[in-house]
Amino acid sequence: MSESFGVADYLVFLGMLLLSTIIGFYYAWKDRKNTDEEEFLRGGNHMSVMPVCISILASFMSSTSFIGIPVAVYYTGTQFWIVLIPAFLAATLACEVFIPIYYKMKLISVNEYIHRRFQSHKLRVMCNVSVLLALVPFFGVELYAPAVALSIVTEMSIPSSIVVMGLVVTVYTSMGGLKGVIWTDFFQFAVMVFGLVSVAVTGADVAGGMAKAFDKAYLGGRIEFWNMTFDVYSNNSFWVMFIGFTILWCGTLSTSQLMVQRAVCMPTLASAKKALYFAIPGFLTMISLTVCIGVLMFAHYYDCDPMLSGRVTRPDQLLPYFVLDIFRNTYPGMTGVFVACIFGSSLSTLSSGLNAMASIIWDDYAKQALTCIPSRWGVYATKLLAVGIGFASIGCAFVLKEVKSIFEAVIMLYGASNGPMFGLFCLGLFFPWANSWGCGLGMAVGQAFCLWITVGSVVDKRSLFDVLPTSTEGCAAQNISVLYPGANLTSLTHYKPAPYYPTGFDMVHHLSPFFVPTIGFVITLIVGNVISLLTKGNKDNPIDKNLVHFDICHNLEKLLPKSWRQFHEKDTEKTDLKDHTKY
């Protein structure tokens, strides 16, 4: 047992894991006689606003965000704060455009929209494969991130923590269904908030106040909000971050199975919108807290960087080490609260993801393939699917040791699927000529290009050209040895990274991870529109007008030949949703 991670810390941490598991078992026991798959996957459509709101917030504030954002601020500055604007824009788009359509359709799988809109089962299968191939490695990263954190504060090895957390989340997700996931998220969110606030308050106290911390961050060149240079190779460009995160958040809130599943479990459309709108202030607050913690962390190590002094070996270990440092010999159990916070955020994201992926596989494949199985057995089959995905995620977590930055890996892995997927849904919703041929090829090309960037970035790693320097001038006064010399403190304030001009394949491999979703989105839109128009759009295929944005399609259709048009008059009565669920 670590000298700094004491008995109280272990009790707090293990208590959180135990309570999370108990919640899943409680809902499994409570609904033990209910074999309705709708109840398991959609909570019976009678969830209240607040727990769903908290579940949304907890699911999308992952452990990689808690660990990665402070580290990003530590090395590149406060520019990251601008991602608050895309989050608000994305929530508005999802609530006012996408969710009303999904809610009326009463979807279980979000990809059912693709099948109905394009009347193509093959395109739906393509979407499912894309989501599964992207999310299972993403879940692996979510397991690996807290394992790295735990390894710095305890004697538990990274493999051990991966297995423990993977088994816990798999058990309570498969046992409790959507209700168990939502109420566990509610509990874990409380732990997350308490952990973040505790670190922020204690860190500010150690620094002598937030004002002094920001003063040191300014002297260290970390206070920056308007780096308006459009540089697709920089992780600190306003436009790269603004555009990239706008696409990322829009895709997440508008086309993610995790979001849609929560929207359709609400009793009314108004309550579904409220759940997301109410989550946004909390989300903005959590992002702001993590940015402030990054500033406090830099202020604490202003003149003695832990990486250069060899106290940590990976950037992802900086935040756990900082927490261990500020709570050392002061408040028993508080380090355990932080570890519980990181694990809780990871468990929330993973539980939501496992439940969502199980619902996609069951609704899109297994239900049709296993027609001989009685419907009452569907809930048991879905639980087994959640278990299988959980074990696959544990396996992926063990192959992530070569990843340099967990946060960048998550953005790139998730964005490689998220950007093209959002482009596909936009084609279906806003472009009346978009057909299955164009959309299928557009998504394939967009995703292939994003995967090329992702794989290339791993094989052909780029240097950290846009990382701001750190100092070790104060290490000697603290009796801390230095492995690598740092920069002079006087040079930090006005330091500007040199522009990066890659050549050859590096021009693709070294693109900013934050820009990957944008590239996939734009390629999917361009290729999808061009191929759809070349194949005569939907000239001979009627479109269900409930599955598109009527006003936009009505206006865009004026660009088409009259023989292609289907939205002739704005007052055309919308048709009722048709049942296209039979294949």
What DSSP assignment string belongs to 409-430?
A: HHHHHHHHHHHHHHHHHHHHHH
**Cα–Cα dist 254/115, whole Å:** 17
Domain ranges of the chain: 46-408
* Residue bearing tokens 């998504």: 443
Give pLDDT, residue 430. 93
| Alpha carbon distance 394, 196 (integer Å) | 26
Q: Sign of torsion, CA 46 342 157 405?
A: positive
Which run of H or E residues covers position 259?
helix 257-264
Structure tokens belonging to residue 189: 């969110």
- Phi-psi bin for 529: left (phi > 0), alpha (psi -120 to 50), beta? alpha
Q: Which helix (H) or strand (E) holds 76?
A: helix 63-76
Q: Which superfamily does CATH assign the domain made up of 46-408 to?
A: Sodium/glucose cotransporter (1.20.1730.10)
Amino acid at 544: D
> Nearest 5°: phi and psi at 83?
-70, -10
Q: Which secondary-structure segment (H or E) carries 79?
A: none
Cβ-contact 361, 125 below 8 angstroms: no
Residues 6+ apart with CB under 8 A from 396: 136, 137, 139, 140, 141, 143
Question: Residues 353, 355, 356, 362: what is their CA dihedral angle, to the nearest 10 degrees?
Answer: 140
Residue 483 CB: number of other CB atoms within 10 A? 10
DSSP secondary structure of 179-216: HHHHHHHHHHHHHHHHHHHHHHHHHHHHHTSHHHHHHH
DSSP type of residue 549 = -
8 A C-beta contact, residue 518 and residue 243? yes
Other beta carbons within 10 angstroms of residue 157's beta carbon come to: 12
Residue 556: per-residue pLDDT = 85
Strands (E), 97-245: none
pLDDT tens per residue across all 583 residues of the chain: 354 677 888 888 788 767 766 765 666 566 555 544 454 444 445 567 887 787 777 767 777 888 889 998 999 889 888 988 998 899 999 999 998 888 888 776 788 889 889 988 888 888 888 877 777 777 787 778 777 777 777 777 778 877 877 777 666 555 544 555 566 667 777 778 888 898 999 999 999 999 999 999 999 989 888 888 898 998 888 999 999 999 999 998 888 877 777 777 778 888 888 888 888 888 888 899 999 999 999 999 999 999 998 888 888 888 888 988 888 777 777 888 888 777 777 766 776 677 667 767 766 666 666 666 655 565 666 667 777 777 777 777 776 665 667 777 778 888 888 899 999 999 999 998 999 999 999 999 999 999 899 888 877 877 666 788 899 998 988 888 888 888 888 888 888 888 888 888 889 988 998 999 999 999 999 999 999 999 988 887 888 888 888 888 888 888 888 878 877 654 444 444 444 444 3
Map residue 565 onto helix, strand or coil: coil
